[in-house]
Amino acid sequence: MLSYRHAFHAGNHADVLKHLILLQIAEYMGEKPAPFWIIDTHAGAGRYALESAHASKLGEYRDGIGRLWERKGLPPAAVDYVEFVKMLNPDGQLRHYPGSPWLASQLLRDSDRLRLYELHSTDVKLLQECFRGAGRQVTITAGDGFAGLKAILPPPTRRALVLIDPSYETRDDYANVVKGLQEALKRFATGTYALWYPLLTKPESRKLPERLKGLGAANWLHATLEVHAPTKDGFGMHGSGMFVINPPWTLEKKLHETLPRLTETLAQGDGARFVLESQGD
């Protein structure tokens, strides 16, 4: 797990889905006057230089944010997402990509708080540099995000968005997200939880959505975006998913408007498709 560096994958199709949904949830929460927290259990470095050795080695951003950068006629939620990325690239050249902590920080009001957890020692230092001078509004912890949830849930505001997106490098990660969510819901049943996961041919990945549905949450939304069909040898990630517990009531409509065009724009071959399903009161 500690070998994983998100810099290799920054701005790819999975980040597009994850960050577009993150922004939609956080913007909705900010529409109400009561303060809220955003808790990121696997925060990464905060922001990424796309011309760095890490990001340019695979260049995955070219088939992610790169395809949306100059695209006209995108749905409003996709336009909103691209505009936030452009904030980090004021000269109009796509050179930097924001991680979820940076995006979340842009939507905080004075009374809101951002709580970040990261285990990788190098990324923790980069995260601290990213938020130097942020003051008490942003707290960075070098440690396990699942353990952090046990310590801080429920938040004093009783309003929070928890983003969970581990690397899934090991089989344990799949079990840990189910257990972590199960324990978090016992402490804070009304929180909004947004879990990202990769679409792989591994049985752990294929079985995860049903395990999440089995947690018993009354309200959930599940969105997936596949950019191509699974390869014959089963190698690599062909898409990703977001499972949101207690989603904003506006999110499903936004994704119905957005996912068809997003799938078309990000398709890398035959089999590109999306799934959007939900359960609610």
- Is the pLDDT at 3 greater than 60? The verdict is no
Model confidence, pTM: 0.96
Q: Does domain 6-279 bear CATH number 3.40.50.150?
A: yes
For residue 57, is pLDDT > 80? no
User: Could you tell me which residue, 100 or 235, shows the higher pLDDT?
Assistant: 100
Rounded (10°) CA dihedral 263, 267, 273, 276: -30
Confidence band for 56, pLDDT divided at 50, 70 and 90? low
30 contacts: CB under 8 Å, gap ≥ 6: 36, 107, 109, 112
Q: Give the rounded percent of residues in the chain with a pLDDT score beyond 90.
A: 89
pLDDT tens-digit map of 121-171: 999 999 999 999 999 999 999 999 999 999 999 999 999 999 999 999 888
- In Å, the largest CA–CA distance within the chain is 51
**Which residues carry out catalysis?**
165
What pLDDT band is residue 234 in, cutting at 50, 70 and 90?
A: confident
pLDDT digits (tens, 9 = 90+) for 204-219: 999 999 999 999 999 9
pLDDT tier, 51 (very low <50, low <70, confident <90, very high otherwise): confident
Domain boundaries defined on the chain: 6-279
Which residue in 225, 227, 223 sits closest to 266, CA to CA?
227
- Burial (Cβ within 10 Å: 0-12, 13-18, ≥19) of residue 228: middle
Beta-carbon contacts of residue 248 (< 8 Å; ≥ 6 apart): 24, 25, 28, 29, 192
Neighbour tally for 206: CB within 10 Å: 12
The per-residue pLDDT of the chain, averaged, comes to: 94
Per-residue pLDDT tens digits for 112-127: 999 999 999 999 999 9
What six digits make up the tokens of 137?
Answer: 């509004």
pLDDT value at residue 42: 95
Q: How many CB atoms lie within 10 A of CB 269?
A: 11
Q: Is the Cα torsion angle 206, 276, 231, 9 positive or negative in sign?
A: negative
| Predicted confidence (pLDDT) at residue 58 exceeds the cutoff of 90 | no
pLDDT of residue 8: 80
Extended strands (E) in the chain: 37-40, 47-49, 96-98, 113-118, 138-142, 160-164, 192-199, 220-226, 239-245, 273-279
1 pLDDT band, cuts 50/70/90, is: very low
Question: Are 17 and 275 within 8 A, CB to CB?
Answer: no
Specify the pairing of strand 160-164 against strand 37-40.
parallel
